[in-house]
Every structure is written in structure tokens, then in C-alpha cells.
Amino acid sequence: MLDELHEECGVIGIYNGDAVVRNITMGLYALQHRGQESAGFAISDGDKIRVRKSMGLVSTLLREHNIDEFDGFAGIGHVRYSTTGASTLANAQPILVSCKWGQIAVAHNGNITNANELRAEMEADGHIFQTTSDSEILLHEIARTQADDLGEAIKKAITKFTGSFCLVFISKDSMYVARDGFGFRPLSIARMGKAWCVASETCAFDLLGANYVRDIQPGEFLTITKNGLHSERFTQKDRLAHCIFEYIYFSRPDSKIFEQSCDKIRRKMGKQLAKECPVDADIVISVPDSATTAALGYAQASGIRFEIGLLRNHYVGRTFIDPTQNVREQKVKLKFNPIVGVLKNKRVCVVEDSIVRGTTLKILSKMLRDAGALEVHIRIASPPVAHPCFFGMDFPSQGELAASSMTPNEIAQMLGVESLGYLSVEGMKECTGEGENYCAACFDNDYPDYIGTDAQKTRCG
């Protein structure tokens, strides 16, 4: 996919550590694929919390702020996704506020589906809003909750929120961690010497040399203080709803997601795809890098040779020359170049992780054919995406989803390819196992939780 789907944020928190800001920003490097719009951290020295944020990548954050000036024992970090609209520094995270509980900073991954209703209610009650992010609404609710202490206030507050959330809070002396009862987004905890570390994906632990302990449980609430870690359950849903798309595209393959290796699941999906949608082809290639694992699985199961048929430019990032005509095509060409020697006179099976709009694949298919491919067969390691996500992914509007208005055959025709095959919903769930524990709503329209009253579905944090 090329700028078609956006992960919506990555979070990290470290408590009782050394070189906390340095480790948080290192960890954010590992989570960078979850958000490239803005990056930030908040750190407590036990007395005061300070926050720094930048638009852009973690490398920009490091360039704009001298992190060695920030000393502290606990902190949180956040990367936020990039979309065209309300992308301003005001919406960057963490958000730091002061309230009756003292200073609180929060980093959020997910999407609150009743945010609009709650915000309207709070405005009616006399609250003011300085951002358009869910996190501010959360903090208002916490601030106005009657409770004995901050921990209790957070616990009470978050029960009012529907949708998905992985939350890491710090006060001047404690850290609080919460994950929604459905477990939509991944969140894990690790040990780093005497310190605790929580992060959206375990690849951050690998980089930091932290030892993965377990996933934060859906509905779990953690209180981490100088006295240690206390776990409790603040909610209990009658089902789980892990976002199955994390396996398909969003998470890094080297992460353990929902307690399974993402790479393993992705590979299984490739194999299952080969079983469901075989092809008569000379080589299997992937759209790198996100579909490579599935392609390897497909190649192995089908016995067709895996090849690198498309080269992915290492230097194509966010900065791009302003859009004139043919820009979309230009962008795809900048990112991918076909390797003629691999493709020429071959019947090519292209494995991609998913189809959202289909525009990129259309351009790529033509590129492959121009490079001499005799036939182009597309195999998608997930079912047709036909419905919007309200739980933390930024999809194009439903009308733009290829599968919402076209059959696979029509899509194949639009793409101009010999054949197109999708993984089935059942096949996909077989790969993950315990399929009932997963959300697959964007595929099967079965939304596990309240989905809100309007378009606020793409908001992160």
C-alpha cells in the first residue's frame, strides 16, 4: 500500500529507568511505522513533568530538542499518524495538563467512538477544548471525576469511553496503563533491569534490550509506583476484538502481537492464500516490504519461486514535490522500480497484503507489464476491505474502498490483471486461530462496539 492506510499512533512508557528520554526516543524509532506525523515525549523528574513534541519523524524531534537536557525517572512517548486534515502541533501527543490531581501527561493509541457525545456533554458542562484529540476529552473526564486518588479517577473515567484505547499516563510520581476491554490495539509490558516498559509493539523492547513479560490484558489497569506494579481489571466485555489488521499490515512482522508472532501469522496467511487461490505462474513477487512475509508463505506453499521483482527506494519519505498531474503515478514510480531481468517473459504472481483503493496496484500492474511480465496475477493476503474502521485506523471514506462497490472480478478488470484472488474471512481467521477473539469489521461489517454518531472515526489519541 502507498499512503492508503495509516496506523494510528504508537505509545511507549518507561518507569523507574535510566536515560529515560533517550530510551523512549529509541523506542519510538522502533514504533515509527505506526505514525509519522508527529512525535513527542513527556518526562517526570519526580517533581515536575515536562513535554516536548515536534511535527514529523522521531529524527526531527531529536534535531529540534536536545534530549540530554531532560532528566527524569519516568516518561512516556508517542508517534502519531499523518493525514491531511487537522495535523497541527496542538494535536501532537503526549498531552500534558494540570488539574486537581496535579500534572498528568497521557499518550493514547486508539479511537474513542463516543468522543463527540462526551465532548458535547462536557462543553455543555462548561469545559473548554484546545485540541481536537480524544486525549483531551479523556483528561477532562479524569479531572472531573470524583475519586480518592488519580488512579481511581482514571479507572472510573475510562469506563465511560467506548471504542479502542491503549493509554499510558504519568503523574509526577506514578505511571498508569490501561487497555480497552476488547483489546483492539496491542500493548505489552517488559522488564528493563529495575525498570518497567510498556509499548505498542514488542519490537521496541528488542531495540531497548527489554525483556517481554506479557501483554496488558484487555480491560486491565496497571498502577506503577515506587512500591511496584499493581494490576486490576476495570472492565469485562463479553468478547475480545483484537484488530486483525494489525497482523495483516499495521504491525511490524518482528513484533509479537496479541501474544503471537506477527511474522508467523503473516506467513500462514500467505500459505492459506496459496491454498485458497492457486495460480499458474513462473514467479511470486511481493509489493515490498509489507507483503514480503506473506509472499514468502505463498511461494513456499505453492512451490513457485519467490523473487524480488520490485525494488523499493530507501529514500522516499514524506517530503514530496507538490502535486501536479500524474503525481500519483510519479509517487509510485519513485517508491518502486521493476527489475526487468526478473520479470521479463514471466507469468508473475504479485502478493499484496490488502487492497484499499487499488490505485497503487493499478499503477504497479502496468509497470510490471511494461517491464515484460507476460501475465500479472494478484493475490491478496486478506479479504476485501469494504467497511470503515472506527477503532483507530485511518481509512479513506467508504466510497473510495474498491471492495465497497466492486466485485473482485470488477476490481481485477480495473487493475487490468489476468486474475485477482483474495483470502477468505474464514481462511484469515484460521491463520490467527480463535477467530472469535478478533475484530474483522472492516472485512465482515461486524462491529464489536459502539461506533459513534459521526465522522470522528479517524482521530488518533
Ligand X SMILES: Nc1ncnc2c1ncn2[C@@H]1O[C@H](COP(=O)(O)OP(=O)(O)O)[C@@H](O)[C@H]1O
* Backbone φ and ψ of 349, nearest 5°: -105, 115
Q: Are 246 and 258 in contact (CB under 8 A)?
A: yes
- The one of ligand SF4, a second copy, ligand X, none whose footprint includes residue 29, by CB under 5 to 8 A per kind, is a second copy
Cβ closest to ligand X, residue 173 vs residue 206: 206
Q: Which of residues 14-43 bind a second copy (CB under 8 A)?
A: 22, 25-26, 29-30, 32-33, 36
We find the least distance from the C-beta atom of residue 78 to a second copy, in angstroms, to be 15
HSE-up of 435 (CA within 13 Å, CB side)?
12
We find the least distance from the C-beta atom of residue 62 to a second copy, in angstroms, to be 6
Instruction: Output the nine-digit C-alpha cell for 78.
Output: 508517542
Q: Where are the beta strands (DSSP E) in 290-428?
A: 305-306, 310-312, 336-338, 347-352, 375-380, 419-422
- The one of a second copy, Mg ion, ligand SF4, none whose footprint includes residue 1, by CB under 5 to 8 A per kind, is Mg ion
Element housing 103 (H / E): strand 102-112
Q: Are 206 and 249 in contact (CB under 8 A)?
A: no
We find the least distance from the C-beta atom of residue 4 to ligand X, in angstroms, to be 9
Question: What residues make contact with ligand X under the rule CB under 6 A?
Answer: 33, 249-253, 289-290, 292, 311-312, 314
Q: Which of residues 163-192 bind a second copy (CB under 8 A)?
A: none
Which of 9, 197, 203, 460 does the annotation list as catalytic?
9
User: What does each C-alpha distance from 324 to 328, 336, 360 come to in angstroms?
Assistant: 9, 19, 17
For residue 139, state whether it binds a second copy (rule: CB under 8 A). yes
| 432 φ/ψ sector (left φ>0, alpha ψ -120 to 50, else beta) | alpha
Query: Is residue 243 annotated as involved in ligand binding?
Result: yes
What SS3 string covers 173-217? Answer: CCEEEEECCCCCCCCEEEEECCEEEEECCCHHHHHHCCEEEEECC
Cβ closest to ligand X, residue 120 vs residue 311: 311
We find the least distance from the C-beta atom of residue 232 to a second copy, in angstroms, to be 24
Cβ closest to ligand X, residue 37 vs residue 136: 37
Contact code string over 78-97 relative to a second copy, x by CB under 8 A:
-----------x-----xxx
Question: What residues make contact with ligand SF4 under the rule CB under 6 A?
Answer: 184, 243-245, 389, 391, 393, 439-442
9 counts as catalytic = yes
Query: Is residue 431 annotated as involved in ligand binding?
Result: no
Question: For the CA atoms of 323, 353, 388, 92, what is the dihedral angle to 10 degrees?
Answer: -60
Cβ closest to a second copy, residue 153 vs residue 412: 153
